[in-house]
Amino acid sequence: MEVHVARFALLLCITVATSASSQTCAPKKVNDNPWFHVREMLIGCWTSFVTEDNTEVHILNLAAMDEKIFSLNFTNAKPMNLILTSPETLYCLCNINADVNIYLSNSSAITLYGNQHHNNVHKQDFPTQDEELVRWAQQKFGGVTSFTTVRNLSNISSKGIAGTTNTSSHHCVLKNEDASEKHFMKIERTSLASPFTSCSPQQQIPSGEAELHIINIPENASTCNVSLRMDTKEIRVFLRGPQGTTWIILSQHTRFGSNNDILLPALAHRVPPSYTVNSDNAEDVQRKALDVFKVSTFTSYTELRPVGSTIIMALVRNESPAEPSPETVPEPVATDITPQQMPLLMQLYTSHDYVSPLDPNTRVQSDKRIYAEISGHTLGDIILTIKVIGCIVRSKGSCPVVKDLPFIPEACSPNSCPNSTRLSFSLDQLQELTSTTWDLECTVKLCSSEVGVHLKHLKQCKQEEISKHNLC
């Protein structure tokens, strides 16, 4: 009887091993990737600027035009000054209304056809270089509402709504952007040769488990900065690219593994590579992802060769994303975070009212109680909680003495000291020791959380060491 049981178990093992090994898929060329929208990110800006008489100022920068002719339909546009610029010889089928004024540089080789109100077309002497053009427009009109670079433009039309962003930025700062966010206009580009292959294994991730998407940029493709937007509750991604690739994860609730650097802009974190993947072969990459996430299948595999050096990939969602309730328990985003330089500052005080900070060059007195405040300086709306785990003092010199430093946490309301914590200690145990110069080192647990739109919480913790030199 027992023999039978053993044999059964062995059989079961073999079955599992076979089915696990079949959970990869062979990617095929596709025209529209069903999993990700991919867009090139080009230089631009978007602000809330309008002139005093409610006129918008838009700059359209046309580059790498495969077809020399494009159409522009701004018949239903809001009043605006529209600056068209391109280094190329282009023909525009332009339809505008009486409140749209088009500005062309007098050196421009753009020819306009169409219904245009001829008095609304102005040839002027202005610079064509991006920053200089923005500066010129700011001087001439008082500001710039948008600057958009489009490659291979075919058709552009206004949607008849205000062209301002609803964020508070008034000043056009050029940076790589996702122009599709500018919902006041519709941009159609000539279709590109499909840059994708993709596939998805037959066995799907069990419902209720987070999706796992694999993205692979082959070794001989150019290095690229890839932003990822995945507005979904929780998702896992495995990202592989040639050395020098940077993945920028814009969404919260994403767990990831990669052989490249990962940037978490919300936390101002750069996470170094967590895995090595020696091969860019589809099956090897898929197996590595299964191994890293300890799963037997995944949701999708996408292989792409980016056109351009900065792209954005947005997860395609047919259904509206599930809104997490505001009470969502904070969850760790990334398991593979290694300590980064989240700037921490330790300031010493002589009394517990924390009014007069000690000058860093003053010697502290070992018979007096010392009060310390540790504060974090972060970017954006990040709120830090800092908890001191332990402190030591270390003597300077060739044979350092290390002593534990007992401390008491000092009360401090979140209102009076945001992003910081307070403690106090006494140095009297150092009096009998010969060294006169000590370093103080505290290990702190640092949690950062960001309250974003939809009240999604992102919480992340790590340990940091902070030190203060020349104590006594």
CB of 300 to ligand NAG, least distance (A): 21
Amino acid identity, residue 23?
Q
Task: Tell me which residue has tokens 């000590």.
Answer: 438
Tell me how far apart the alpha carbons of residues 384 and 381 are, in angstroms, rounded to a whole number: 10
Q: Specify the residue, 38 or 391, whose C-beta has the smaller distance to ligand NAG.
A: 38
Closest approach, Cβ 302 to ligand NAG, in A, equals 16
Alpha helices in 273-354 (DSSP H): 282-293
Query: Who contacts 398 (Cβ-Cβ below 8 Å, separation ≥6)?
Result: none
Of 19 and 309, which CB lies nearer to ligand NAG in the complex structure?
A: 309
Partners of 2 in the beta sheet?
Answer: none
Count CB atoms within 10 A of the CB of residue 64: 15
Beta carbon nearer to ligand NAG, 279 or 309: 309
User: Shortest approach of ligand NAG to residue 135 CB, angstroms?
Assistant: 17
Considering the complex, state which of residue 155 and residue 328 has its C-beta at the smaller distance from ligand NAG: 155
> Which residue carries 């002593």 as its tokens?
403
Shortest reach from residue 402's CB to ligand NAG, in Å: 31
Residues that bind ligand NAG (CB under 6 A): 64, 66, 71, 73, 75-76, 95, 106-107, 125, 151-152, 154-155, 157, 166, 188, 190, 192-193, 218, 220, 223-225, 246, 307, 309-310, 377-378, 381, 383, 418-419
Comparison of 223 and 424: residue with beta carbon closer to ligand NAG: 223
Identify the CA nearest to 337 among candidates 264, 427, 418, 230. 264
The nearer residue to ligand NAG, 13 or 192, going by C-beta atoms, is 192
Residue 395, strand partner residues: 438
DSSP-derived pairing of the beta strands 235-240 and 80-85: unpaired
Is 154 or 347 the residue whose CB approaches ligand NAG more closely? 154
Token digits of residue 338:
């290694």
The region that residue 321 occupies, defined by phi over 0 for left and psi between -120 and 50 for alpha, beta otherwise, is beta
Shortest Cβ distance from residue 148 to ligand NAG (Å)?
15
Least separation, in Å, of the C-beta of 360 and ligand NAG? 20
Closest to 159 measured CA to CA, from 185, 197, 195: 185
Tokens of 237: 């991604």
Closest separation in Å from C-beta 125 to ligand NAG:
4
Put the strands of the sheet holding 28-29 in their side by side order. 28-29, 196-199, 300-304, 211-216, 235-240, 254-258
Minimum distance between the CB of residue 13 and ligand NAG, rounded to whole angstroms?
A: 36
Minimum gap (Å) between residue 61 Cβ and ligand NAG: 13
Find out whether 128 and 120 touch, Cβ atoms under 8 Å.
Answer: no
Residue nearer to ligand NAG on the CB measure, 32 or 381: 381
156 closest CA partner among 39, 56, 87, 73: 73
Nearer to ligand NAG among residue 378 and residue 436 (C-beta): 378
**Residue burial 4-34, b: 16+ Cβ < 10 Å; e: rest:** eeeeeeeeeeeeeeeeeeebbbebeeeeebe
